[in-house]
Amino acid sequence: MKQIGVLTSGGDAPGMNAAIRAVLRRGISLGLKVVGIRRGYDGLIDGDFLAMNVSSVGDIIHRGGTILLTARSQRFERPESQDLAAVRLDRAGIDGLVVIGGEGSLHGALELARRGVPVIGVPATIDNDIAFTGNCIGFDTAVNAGAEAVNRLRDTAAAYERVFIVETMGRHSGHLALAVGVASGAESILIPELPVDTKEVCCRIARRMERGKSHSIIVMAEGAGNGFELAKRIGSSLDVELRVTVLGHVQRGGTPTAFDRLLASQLGARAVDLLQDRRGGLMVGTEGSGINAWPIDEVLRAERKIDLGLFELANVLAY
Ligand code: F6P
């Protein structure tokens, strides 16, 4: 192993830069050359490679986004593009690849592994919807951003005696909304994995009003429906004033928390160690207080289930 590549793909996640830094600096410490591949799999198909040195990753550990740029590559879904990507790596003398991203990125990594490329996946997505790891890089930052937003909204909701519906990111999964909801003491949490029960939401608001609490916060994942429609339904049953706040991409940017930086540093470095040991087709992740690696195909076959215990707890605590 003389030279390795690193790319970020899919939705950016705070901490991706810290992971790139770890890959580069661990690689250099082992005597490897490191090449950055820009714009994810699109850049791999196009040969958009960037020679990197120690200084290339200076002052980025605390920055959100990704210095390598990212893309959700539709071209890479075609087998011909996957073949071409493997050829590009071979011609550039890149002996191993680190892919930093979410589920779609891991699918891409698996295709490259099937073509003989030693590849290690590093889970990074604010959705935290990947099995076999405690946290994905970026999740902690996004939860904190969401909880901070709800803190602010609760101030104005209380002042005006309003009900706020706060939409978090998470088109297909509710891990983020659930964590934000619990951390911010939301009165109701709505996620795509469970049916939305408008009656129950109304009952909770009404019960609070009976206790003299004239404001409420409902945290809703992007994939759990339309916040404005929900507001209409609640407004037709209860005499309350409603507002909807969509957090959107605000929740995906920003400086990564120390937790995400630590995680990214450890996972990025371990990915390089595995390549150095001539391993491939694996995803690194946390297991207890340590780090482990699992076959990517196994990771992709497993579904990361919603923590129903946490959901129940949220309902009990937000009485
Ligand atoms: O990266 C994951 C995610 O942020 C989801 O939470 C969200 O549903 C989606 O990406 C948004 O994608 P885009 O940035 O392409 O609009």
Ligand 1 atom at minimal distance to the Cα of residue 252: 4
Sheet with 162-168: list strands edge to edge: 188-190, 216-221, 162-168, 241-246
- List per-residue pLDDT tens for the chain, 319 residues long: 999 999 999 999 999 999 999 999 999 999 999 999 999 999 999 999 999 999 999 999 999 999 999 999 999 999 999 999 999 999 999 999 999 999 999 999 999 999 999 999 999 999 999 999 999 999 999 999 999 999 999 999 999 999 999 999 999 999 999 999 999 999 999 999 999 999 999 999 999 999 999 999 999 999 999 999 999 999 999 999 999 999 999 999 999 999 999 999 999 999 999 999 999 999 999 999 999 999 999 999 999 999 999 999 999 998 7
Q: Distance between CA 166 and CA 100 in Å, rounded?
A: 29
Global pTM? 0.98
| Active-site position among 12, 95, 127, 140 | 127
Q: Atom 12 in ligand 1: which residue has the minimum CA distance?
A: 11
**pLDDT value at residue 319:** 74
Q: How far apart are CA 194 and CA 66, in angstroms?
A: 33
> Which protein residue has the closest C-alpha to ligand 1 atom 5?
170
Distance of CA 280 from the midpoint of ligand 1 (Å): 28
Give the pLDDT confidence score for residue 61 in this predicted structure.
98
152 lines ligand 1 (CB under 6 A): no
Distance, CA of 73 to CA of 7 (rounded, Å): 12
Residue 199's pLDDT is 97
129 Cβ inside 6 Å of ligand 1: no
- From residue 188, alpha-carbon distances to 164, 182, 199, 313 in Å are 11, 9, 11, 12
**β-pairing, 282-287 with 119-123?**
parallel
Residue nearest to atom 10 of ligand 1 (CA): 11
pLDDT of residue 196: 95
Distance, CA of 66 to CA of 68 (rounded, Å): 5
Residue with CA closest to ligand 1 atom 2: 11
Which one-letter amino acid corresponds to residue 313? Answer: L
pLDDT of residue 45: 98
**Residue type (1 letter), 229:** E
Concerning whether 129 is annotated as a catalytic residue, the answer is no
Atom of ligand 1 nearest to the CA of 12: 1
